[in-house]
Amino acid sequence: MSEALGFISETKLDLIPAEVVAWDPLNPEPKVTLNRGQENSVAKGDAVIIPGGILVGVISEAFDRTSQMEILTSSAVVVNAEVAESGARGLVKGQHGLGMIFDLGPQTEKIREKDKLVTSGLGGQYPKGLFIGEIGEVNSSESDLFQKANVIPGADFRNLRTVFVVKK
């Protein structure tokens, strides 16, 4: 925990530390409950990260003292993203708790396995430069209108303990 709290002093983001207090692993759309809510300025749509600036989810509901976070693999989550190496922009979409894909990547840009994916900052919901994961297998051919690829997450979502809610 102290290592995680040290992360607050190293970042320029306005962060609210929170603990994961419940998770239903049987739910096909993964959500976790955090011990921070509206009383702590947590609001629907806030990004949630872990140390290292790794994006793990988004607040889907905020109550007085707790909040619900949708994990990135949930089909309710869509993130404007870009490939760090090439600048190619697209969307990272959750796949019903089974994983994530990078979609709508332009055919004119190079997208390769192990390329890093970060938030693009477009749309204003997520700050620019948060790490999402790496490109896995690219599932597109030259005849496709857009490139699509599997995404290897930057975090192990099953072992989340301390997280940080990013205030806008």
CATH value at residue 115: 2.40.10.350
pTM of the complete model? 0.90
Confidence of residue 11 (pLDDT cuts 50, 70, 90): low
Average pLDDT (124-131) is 94
For the stretch 21-53, pLDDT in tens is: 998 777 778 789 999 999 999 999 999 999 999
8 Å CB contact between 67 and 36: yes
Residue 12: both structure tokens together: 């320029």
Residue-by-residue DSSP string for 40-81: GT--TT-EEEETTTEEEEEEEEE-SS-EEEEETTSTT-EEEE
90 lies in which domain range? 78-153
DSSP category for residue 159: G
Q: Is 11 found in the same domain as 64?
A: yes
Q: Is 25 found in the same domain as 48?
A: yes
CA dist., res. 22 & res. 14, Å (int):
24
Q: Is 9 found in the same domain as 58?
A: yes
Q: Is 89 found in the same domain as 59?
A: no
Q: Is 105 found in the same domain as 42?
A: no
Which of the residue ranges 106-110, 116-120, 136-140, 164-168 has the most confident prediction, judged by mean pLDDT?
Answer: 116-120
8 Å CB contact between 32 and 57: yes
Q: Is 26 found in the same domain as 42?
A: yes
Q: Which pLDDT does position 137 carry in this prediction?
A: 93
Q: Is 162 found in the same domain as 113?
A: no
**Position 152 pLDDT exceeds 70:** yes
Average pLDDT taken over every residue of the chain = 90
Q: Is 25 found in the same domain as 57?
A: yes
Q: Is 65 found in the same domain as 85?
A: no
Q: Is 84 found in the same domain as 39?
A: no
Residue 63: both structure tokens together: 């109550």
Q: Which pLDDT does position 158 carry in this prediction?
A: 86
Q: Is 109 found in the same domain as 47?
A: no
* 128 three-class SS: coil
**Position 155 pLDDT exceeds 60:** yes
- Total domains in the chain come to 2
Q: Is 138 found in the same domain as 98?
A: yes
What's the CATH code of the domain at 11? 2.40.10.340
